[in-house]
């Protein structure tokens, strides 16, 4: 019965936390507007096409920069690529075709998202491999050490808990 | 003259640290306490000598002594004083000396404290610390001497890269180094333990404050770097998966794993071998980070001037620092293995999951950072591993970690489930569902990723909240106050730190989903609408800075009712000495969101390019990091209070209590 009441109260508390967050979400979603181009002259008039251009720009590397997408970079080359992407989009080329064209011209280096092929197979499969390996190591370590775990308390442990609880109670008693 | 004294002090420090690295080991092996006591004396002397040397270099920068090559190359007489001082570590040689200074200070503090530790253990730890210091002092003296004089003294210096002339630079490197270098203490503890082959719960108890201090500093250091990139680079982004950012993230992930596994050693005497390995790994990753930055292998704004000889030297230090401990580990490691006395559905199991996922995340970052380099060396093919890769691989692993974050802390040690588990799971699931559903119904076009992120925010916040409530709610024997008093500070620290993760996530999700952006070419008098604000561009003003000229756009921010609430003045600066142009974003940070404005090129005739952003909740990202660090401090700090409280209990009960109750 105690647990049930506690659970109910917990729900109220969490409810309040969530309500608070929901209010925050309503507030921030009310301030949403669509995003526009990186410099005013470059942007496409059609917001749908412009959105596509922005998304593409974020996947393309500025080839002369340290580690920036063409969307972030002020470099001339990045601007040229942004214009290239937008003129292609305006001409009706699909996203995939634009990526393929740039890839043919500049190589995989231009893609911030490395495409899955022979050279990147190891890169893409490894994260899964790491997880499996980690699990395997944990399992093997446990088996090797022959862990024998009792699931019930034995008599000595019971006695220790009794003692522990007793000393805890004495600690809680108000000092007189 | 002062520079020569500084140079001399540095050489003295090198010789002393060599003594600190070698002699105490012999003393400890032979049980000769006089030789062992050389360690603290040497460590304190090294710290003083390096501090003097560093002071001498700072003095050279303050007085603009251009007969010093370093000052002539990286400073300028017209620079404001704060940037003259911070310019000391705005270059390779100076930042290396700062690194050594922090290393020596850690050694000195260790020498002064730690009186409860066995003298042999302390001597060995200081000896290992001394060896690391020796390596870096040699690096400084032989390849990167900061005290070189010029034969022809220039009239003025070449100046400092303007984007480094910023208050953020004054504190970001020292903070980051406090973290990086702090991990050397954990490393020294681990190697000292491997020398004797003995690891016990006290060892972990003594090590944990050092890990905590390093972790807190690293957390703040990374957050500062991210914040600096946010306001200085002018793109409004806060994390770019840049190799140098990755270099700081990897030791952070490993240190996070380490501070959790050290809890298991301290409370339960398990995972000893793994914790030792992790401590070596965490510091090695710090060194890898230094190697990446210093060698110029992966270039970025941080690699001031790169030189292959330096890269080779760091690589040599790295090989020694990883190779010898690993050899020791292969020899002693098996000795540390204990039979596991817990089920996988226990607190230990949760912490193992935490460790495994954090290490997988570290491995992913490591692989993604070095893969292009390796591939180019092997096949010659050039590829880029950018943010989309890390989003697709790193984020799911961290998401899984957050799932465990709500469950792990409510598991019991050894045997799994507690009465607390069920209600916490129910609450967390409800929280996840509500936030994800509320989020998706409030805004269209949510991706699976952002839905998952929202769900995780709900899951974790509700999980933590439910755990707190169940530990605080009044029962038959105690009121809320009484129960709150009994909760150890490391549990409170854990709640705070985990709650910091929620705050961080809210910031990241808020910025990602609700960020608005306007890019326009505006003439004076134009009004720009962004989010619910109306921004009037009234024109530009010439501004005279201490060592730059600037053009400042005047942007009046009005709210929906037309009330003026802020004036933002983003600048374009031309630095006189360096002949470089920078853009200074103007930011008005609030808890609700940041107004962010950048001035681009243009003139009064054709208008100016203005980039305006409204970034909801973005400052919560760094706020969350600060809260995490705060939680770490509470946990590290509170251990003492818990210890004094327990000492009044009978011995067995005290240790049993800490086993059943404590832990983060």
The domain boundary residue, chosen from B410, B426, B450: B410
Residue A15 has a pLDDT of: 52
Same domain assignment for residues B136 and B80: yes
Tell me what pLDDT residue B338 has. Answer: 79
Domain boundaries, chain A: 12-113, 121-172
For B436, the closest chain A residue by CA position comes to A22
Are B461 and A21 within 8 A, CB to CB?
yes
The verdict on B406 and B456 lying in the same domain is: no
β-strand B564-568 against B571-575: which pairing, if any? unpaired
The model's confidence at residue B70, banded by pLDDT at 50, 70 and 90, is very high
Q: How confident is the model at residue B554 (pLDDT cuts 50, 70, 90)?
A: very high
Q: Does B560 touch chain A (CB under 8 A)?
A: no
Kindly state whether residues B268 and B393 are assigned to the same domain.
yes
Binned at pLDDT 50, 70 and 90, residue B373 comes out as confident
Closest B-chain CA to A131: B360
Nearest by CB: B300 against A67, A120, A145: A67
* DSSP at B408: G
Q: pLDDT digit string (tens) for A68-85?
A: 788 877 777 888 888 889
B505 and B562 belong to one structural domain: no
In chain A, the residue whose alpha carbon lies closest to the alpha carbon of B355 is A134
pLDDT(A37) > 50: no
Among B360, B598, B662, the strongest candidate for a mutation testing the A interface, having the largest count of A CBs within 10 A, is: B360
Which positions in chain B touch A30 (Cβ < 8 Å)?
Answer: 532
| Chain A contact for B459 (CB, 8 A cutoff) | no
In a 13 Å sphere around the CA of B514, the CA atoms on its Cβ side amount to 28
B484 and B586 inside one domain: no
Looking at the structure, tell me whether residues B487 and B611 fall in a common domain.
Answer: no
Interface test mutation site (partner B, options A149, A152, A153, max chain B beta carbons within 10 A): A149
Q: Where does the pLDDT of residue B566 fall: very low under 50, low under 70, confident under 90, or very high at 90 and above?
A: very high
Number of domains in chain B: 4
Whether residues A35 and B600 touch (CB distance < 8 A) is answered with no
Report whether B593 contacts B583 (CB < 8 A): no
Please tell me if residue A104 touches chain B, with a CB cutoff of 8 Å: no
Indicate yes or no: CB of A43 within 8 angstroms of CB of B462: no
- Whole-angstrom Cα Rg for chain B: 27
Evaluate whether the domain defined by A12-113 bears CATH number 1.10.8.640: yes
pLDDT at residue A146 tops 80? no
Mean pLDDT of A21-40: 41
Handedness of CA B149, B151, B157, B160 (dihedral sign): negative
Residues B339, A147: C-beta atoms closer than 8 Å: yes
CB pairs under 8 A between A and B: 234
Mean pLDDT of B595-623: 90
Nearest chain A alpha carbon to B510: A28
pLDDT of the residue at B464: 92
CA distance B556 to chain A (A): 19
* Contact with chain A for residue B621, Cβ under 8 A: no
Mean model confidence pLDDT for chain B: 87
Please tell me the predicted confidence (pLDDT) of residue B276: 95
Which candidate from A10, A59, A124 shows the least CB-CB separation from B466? Answer: A10
B212 and B140 assigned to the same domain: no
Question: Cα distance from A83 to chain B (closest Cα, Å)?
Answer: 15
> Cα separations (Å) of B542 from A51, B106, B552, B570?
36, 47, 6, 12
Residues B405 and B531 in one domain: no
Using 50, 70 and 90 to split pLDDT, how confident is the model at B638?
A: low
Query: Which among B346, B378, B410 is the end of a domain?
Result: B410
CB B142 within 8 A of CB B313: yes
The mean per-residue pLDDT over the stretch A104-113 comes to: 90
- Nearest by CB to residue B423, choosing from A6, A27, A135, is A6
B391 and B435 in a common domain = no
What are the tokens at B285?
């990753």
Maximum distance among all alpha carbons in chain A? 87
CA dist., res. B236 & res. B246, Å (int) = 19
Domain boundary among B165, B187, B216: B165
Domain range enclosing B553: 519-616
Residues 6+ apart with CB under 8 A from A61: A67, A68, A69, A70, A109, A110, A111, A112, B384, B386
More confident residue, B107 or B333: B107
Chain position carrying tokens 């070189």: B148
Instruction: Quote the pLDDT of residue B9.
Output: 97
Cross-chain CB nearest to A37 (options B426, B519, B660): B519
Q: pLDDT: is B564 or B408 the higher one?
A: B564
Contacts of A145 in chain B (CB under 8 A): 337-340
- Determine the Cα–Cα distance for residues B291 and B136; give it in Å rounded to an integer: 12
Q: Give the model confidence (pLDDT) of B186-229 as tens digits.
A: 999 999 999 988 898 999 999 999 999 999 999 999 999 899 88
A24 vs B50: CA distance, rounded Å = 51
Nearest by Cα to B238 from B252, B227, B253, B249: B227
B301 contacts chain A (CB < 8 A): yes
β-bridge partners, B548:
B575
A97 falls in which pLDDT band (50, 70, 90)? very high
Q: pLDDT above 90 covers what percent of chain B?
A: 51
Q: CA–CA separation, B90 vs B104, rounded Å? A: 20
CB B258 within 8 A of CB B275: yes
b/e string for B254-290 if b means 16 or more Cβ within 10 A? bbbbbbbbbbbbbbbebbbbbbbbbbbbbbbbbbbbb
Both B126 and B89 in one domain: the answer is yes
Quick one: tokens of B20? 């600190």
Q: Do residues B315 and B198 both lie within one domain? A: yes
CA-to-CA dists, residue A136 to A129, A141, B25, angstroms: 10, 8, 38
pLDDT given for residue A175 in this prediction: 44
Interchain pair B375, A126: CB under 8 A: no
Do B406 and B416 have their domain in common? no
Q: State the Cα–Cα distance between residues B182 and B434, nearest whole angstrom.
A: 41
Tell whether the model's pLDDT for residue B358 goes beyond 70.
Answer: yes
């Amino acid at each position: 019965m105690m647990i049930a009441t506690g659970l109910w109260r917990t729900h109220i508390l969490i409810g309040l936390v969530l309500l608070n967050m929901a209010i925050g979400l309503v507030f921030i979603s009310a301030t949403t507007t669509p995003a526009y181009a990186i410099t005013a002259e470059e942007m496409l008039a059609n917001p749908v096409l412009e959105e596509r251009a922005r998304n593409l720009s974020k996947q393309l590397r500025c080839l002369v920069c340290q580690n920036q997408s063409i969307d972030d970079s002020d470099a001339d080359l990045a601007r040229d690529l942004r214009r290239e992407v937008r003129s292609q989009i305006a001409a009706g080329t699909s996203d995939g075709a634009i990526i393929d064209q740039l890839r043919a011209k500049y190589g995989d280096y231009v893609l911030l998202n490395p495409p899955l092929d022979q050279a990147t197979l190891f890169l893409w499969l490894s994260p899964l491999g790491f997880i499996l390996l980690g699990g395997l190591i944990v399992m093997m370590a446990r088996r090797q050490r022959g862990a024998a775990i009792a699931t019930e308390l034995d008599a000595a442990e019971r006695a220790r808990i009794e003692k522990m609880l007793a000393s805890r109670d004495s600690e809680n008693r108000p000092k007189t | 003259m002062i520079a020569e004294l500084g140079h001399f002090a540095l050489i003295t420090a090198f010789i002393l640290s060599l003594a600190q690295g070698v002699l105490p080991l012999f003393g400890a092996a032979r049980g000769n306490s006089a030789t062992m006591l050389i360690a603290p004396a040497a460590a304190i002397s090294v710290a003083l000598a390096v501090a003097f040397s560093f002071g001498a270099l700072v003095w050279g920068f303050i007085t603009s002594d251009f007969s010093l090559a370093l000052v002539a190359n990286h400073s300028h007489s017209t620079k404001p004083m704060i940037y003259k001082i911070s310019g000391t570590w705005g270059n390779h040689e100076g930042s290396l000396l700062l690194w050594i200074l922090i290393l020596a200070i850690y050694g000195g503090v260790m020498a002064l404290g730690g009186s409860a530790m066995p003298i042999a253990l302390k001597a060995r730890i200081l000896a290992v610390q001394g060896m690391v210091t020796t390596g870096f002092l040699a690096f400084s003296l032989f390849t990167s001497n900061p005290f070189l004089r010029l034969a022809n003294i220039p009239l003025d210096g070449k100046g400092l890269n303007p984007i480094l002339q910023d208050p953020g630079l004054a504190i970001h490197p020292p903070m980051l180094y406090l973290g990086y270098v702090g991990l050397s203490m954990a490393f020294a503890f681990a190697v000292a333990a491997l020398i004797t082959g003995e690891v016990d719960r006290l060892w972990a108890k003594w090590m944990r404050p050092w890990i905590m201090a390093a972790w807190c500093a690293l957390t703040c250091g990374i957050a500062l770097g991210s914040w600096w990139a946010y306001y200085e680079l002018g793109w409004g982004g806060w994390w770019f998966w840049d190799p140098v950012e990755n270099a700081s993230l990897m030791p952070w992930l490993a240190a996070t794993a380490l501070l959790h596994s050290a809890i298991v050693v301290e409370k339960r005497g398990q995972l000893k071998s793994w914790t030792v390995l992790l401590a070596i790994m965490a510091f090695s990753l710090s060194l890898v980070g230094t190697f990446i930055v210093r060698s110029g292998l992966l270039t970025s704004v941080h690699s001031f001037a790169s030189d292959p000889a330096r890269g080779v030297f760091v690589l040599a230090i790295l090989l020694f620092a990883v190779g010898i401990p690993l050899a020791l580990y292969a020899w002693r490691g098996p000795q540390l293995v204990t039979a596991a006395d817990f089920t996988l559905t226990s607190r230990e199991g949760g912490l193992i999951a935490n460790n495994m996922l954090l290490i997988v995340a570290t491995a992913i970052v490591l692989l993604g950072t070095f893969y292009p380099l390796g591939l180019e060396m092997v096949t010659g093919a050039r590829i880029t591993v950018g943010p989309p890769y890390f989003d697709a691989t790193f984020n799911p692993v961290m998401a899984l970690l957050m799932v465990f974050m709500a469950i792990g802390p409510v598991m019991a040690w050894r045997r799994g489930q507690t009465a607390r588990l069920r209600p916490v799971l129910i609450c967390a699931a409800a929280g996840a569902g509500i936030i994800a559903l509320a989020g998706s119904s409030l805004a269209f076009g949510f991706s699976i990723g952002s839905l998952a992120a929202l769900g995780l925010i709900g899951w974790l916040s509700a999980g933590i909240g439910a755990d707190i409530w169940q530990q605080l709610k009044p029962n038959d024997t105690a009121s809320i106050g009484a129960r709150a008093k009994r909760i150890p500070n490391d549990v409170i620290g854990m709640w705070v730190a985990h709650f910091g993760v929620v705050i961080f996530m809210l910031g990241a999700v808020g910025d990602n989903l609700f960020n608005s952006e306007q890019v326009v070419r505006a003439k004076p008098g134009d009004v720009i609408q962004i989010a619910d604000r109306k921004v009037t561009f009234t024109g530009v003003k010439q501004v005279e800075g201490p060592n730059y000229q600037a053009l400042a756009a005047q942007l009046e921010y009005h709210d929906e009712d037309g009330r003026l609430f802020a004036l933002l003045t983003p600048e374009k600066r031309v630095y006189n000495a360096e002949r470089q142009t920078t853009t200074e974003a103007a930011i008005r940070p609030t808890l609700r969101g940041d107004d962010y404005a950048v001035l681009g090129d243009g003139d009064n005739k054709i208008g100016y390019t203005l980039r305006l952003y409204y970034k909801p909740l973005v400052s919560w990202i760094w706020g969350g990091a600060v809260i995490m660090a705060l939680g770490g401090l509470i946990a590290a700090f509170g251990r003492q209070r818990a210890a004094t409280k327990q000492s009044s209990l009978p011995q067995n009960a005290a240790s049993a209590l800490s086993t059943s109750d404590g832990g983060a």
